[in-house]
Amino acid sequence: MNYEEAVAYIEETPKFTTKNKLEHTKECLKRLGNPQEKFRVIHVAGTNGKGSTCAFLTSILREAGYSCGLFTSPHLVEINERFQINEVNIDNDTFLSAFLKVKKLADELVAEGNYHPTYFEMLFLMGMVIFADAGVDYVTLETGLGGRLDATTAVENPVACVVASISFDHMQYLGNTIEEIAAEKAGIIVPGVPVIYDGNDPKAAEVIRKHAQELGSPAYEVKREDAVIHRITKTGIEFSLDNAHYGKTVFQIPFVAKYQVMNGSLALKTMEVLKDVIPASVDTIKRGMMGTRWQGRMETILPGVIVDGAHNEDGVAKFVETAAHFQEEYPLTLLFSAVDDKDYTEMIHTICEKIKFRNVVVTQVGGYRMVPAGVLQDIFRKEGYEEVQAFEEIPEAFEYAHTVKGEDGLLFCVGSLYLVGEIKSFVRERNGR
């Protein structure tokens, strides 16, 4: 079996398996030799911001001299993105080697009349094998969906648990109230292990605080007001987390979205809490924050071109906050697309209510979940934009939007991680790399 066949096999997995119990994942890890016990883990959950928080932590750990694995989802362009070693995506040979080990286990389980690992379970198990084989010191581990029953929760001895922003998403699986969703996310908390959490939503914060207390886990709350933003430019944000540990140190992050200050603050607090476990000077942490890279979340991919995978209510609200800041200085162009299991009508309304664009371009993504470009065009017209250009193909939509943004403007590509992935792939091919 080669790399392409391995990827195809994983993509087919959802068609012949269902969600397994956490005990099944633990059994799989055991039969693989418990690879997760060969490194230390920082476990991160949340609705929005967990991937960025993982990226900040990984960059800091790298700057502190540690070898680090990063496990995240979803991928934007290729599946290898889900596994990084020292901030570099794994190569195809490494992917295939780990896949064959996990596939052998899956075949044995099926032959015994047992379960087959799920799509996400396959990838998680591969990640643990990859990081163990690479001999990393730390792994920043992002949950897939929820927390309590997520495959990643099979890791039983993290050095810290982090819970980023919680909002409404995947409600069919996680619950209909913020409290129910928070309870699922708080399921990653381990007895006695410190938990660092986003305390901006009082209801979610109360659930996390209570759960931590019941488990005897020290809990550290982080709020927006803990950080002071000094400056926002086209290239990033300067802010300080004014407390006894960091003093008035000013940190720089290479992102333009204000919400990244909250994710950065969670990472800073985590490093503070772990200062006796992971010694790192403030200057080291500063360099790590400044050098952080994270795909698809207010990411500048070309001069004046920013992609953002905002694809739910909270993500769109945060996009609007960022775009509102820049519309005071620059004419804005929007390239938008969405898939049909999102409330794209409300997303468009929220965007148009707050932001005035010089140009609006729409396209279509997502295969069987595709919303036709013409449908999106009609919704923007109802919101008051008479001139909306619609393209069925993403490359044509991007080239047009990139041209009309002008030398003086900013182009935001928003509405779906699929859109972000396709654009990044197209730009990479166009630039010959």
Decide if pLDDT at 136 tops 80: yes
Tell me: cis bond preceding 74? Omega within 30 of 0 counts: yes
Q: Are residues 303 and 273 in the same domain?
A: no
Q: What is the pLDDT of residue 60?
A: 98
Q: What is the pLDDT of residue 311?
A: 66
**19 vs 227: which has the higher pLDDT:** 227
Q: Are residues 224 and 152 in the same domain?
A: yes
Encoded tokens for 302: 């070309």
Q: What is the mean pLDDT of residues 71-79?
A: 85
Q: What is the mean pLDDT of residues 126-144?
A: 97
Q: Are residues 128 and 15 in the same domain?
A: yes
Q: Are residues 315 and 243 in the same domain?
A: no
- Range from 100-109, 229-238, 340-349 that averages highest in pLDDT: 100-109
Q: Angle 410-355-332 (CA atoms, 0-180°, nearest 5)?
A: 15
Decide if pLDDT at 224 tops 60: yes
Q: Are residues 277 and 414 in the same domain?
A: no
Q: What is the pLDDT of residue 227?
A: 96
Among 3-17, 61-75, 272-286, 398-412, which stretch is predicted with the lowest mean pLDDT?
A: 3-17
Which of residues 239, 265, 290 is at a domain's end? 290
Residue 328: give the domain boundaries: 299-430
Q: Are residues 116 and 197 in the same domain?
A: yes
Between CA 17 and CA 370 the distance in angstroms is: 25
Q: Are residues 74 and 55 in the same domain?
A: yes
C-alpha to C-alpha distances, 420 to 59, 168, 296, 330, 425, nearest whole angstrom: 22, 22, 6, 22, 9
Bridge partners of residue 222, in order along the sequence = 198
The chain-wide mean pLDDT, for the chain, equals: 90
User: Which is it for strands 250-253 and 359-362: parallel, antiparallel or unpaired?
Assistant: unpaired
CATH of the domain at 236: 3.40.1190.10
| Cα dihedral value 259, 231, 286, 72, nearest 10 | 20
Contacts of residue 338, Cβ cutoff 8 Å, sequence gap at least 6: 311, 344, 347, 365, 371, 376, 415, 416
**146 vs 75: which has the higher pLDDT:** 75
Q: How many residues does the chain have?
A: 433
Which of residues 255, 272, 290 is at a domain's end? 290
Angle between helix 50-63 and helix 282-290 axes, rounded to 10 deg:
130
Between CA 55 and CA 59 the distance in angstroms is: 6
Q: What is the mean pLDDT of residues 409-420?
A: 90
Decide if pLDDT at 15 tops 70: no
- Band the pLDDT of 168: cuts 50, 70, 90: low
Domain count, the chain: 2
Q: Are residues 281 and 366 in the same domain?
A: no
Between CA 431 and CA 114 the distance in angstroms is: 48
| pLDDT, tens digit, 9 for 90 and up, residues 187-208 | 899 999 999 999 999 999 999 9
386 SS3 class: coil
Q: What is the pLDDT of residue 171?
A: 42
Percent residues over pLDDT 70 in the chain: 95
Burial class (CB in 10 A: 0-12, 13-18, 19+), 408: exposed
Between CA 147 and CA 202 the distance in angstroms is: 19
Between CA 54 and CA 46 the distance in angstroms is: 11
Q: What is the mean pLDDT of residues 317-338?
A: 89
Decide if pLDDT at 175 tops 60: no
Q: Are residues 321 and 346 in the same domain?
A: yes
Which of residues 231, 265, 290 is at a domain's end? 290
Q: Are residues 280 and 341 in the same domain?
A: no
Between CA 241 and CA 251 the distance in angstroms is: 8
Q: Are residues 404 and 283 in the same domain?
A: no
Decide if pLDDT at 290 tops 70: yes
Q: What is the pLDDT of residue 157?
A: 93
Decide if pLDDT at 174 tops 80: no
Q: What is the pLDDT of residue 328?
A: 85
**CB of 224 within 8 A of CB of 203?**
no
For residue 289, the one-letter residue type is M
Q: What is the mean pLDDT of residues 116-131?
A: 95
CATH of the domain at 305: 3.90.190.20
**77 vs 64: which has the higher pLDDT:** 64
| pLDDT, tens digit, 9 for 90 and up, residues 24-50 | 999 999 999 999 999 999 999 988 788
**CB of 60 within 8 A of CB of 271?**
yes
Q: Are residues 231 and 309 in the same domain?
A: no
- Band the pLDDT of 172: cuts 50, 70, 90: very low
Q: What is the mean pLDDT of residues 302-309?
A: 88
Q: What is the mean pLDDT of residues 49-67?
A: 95
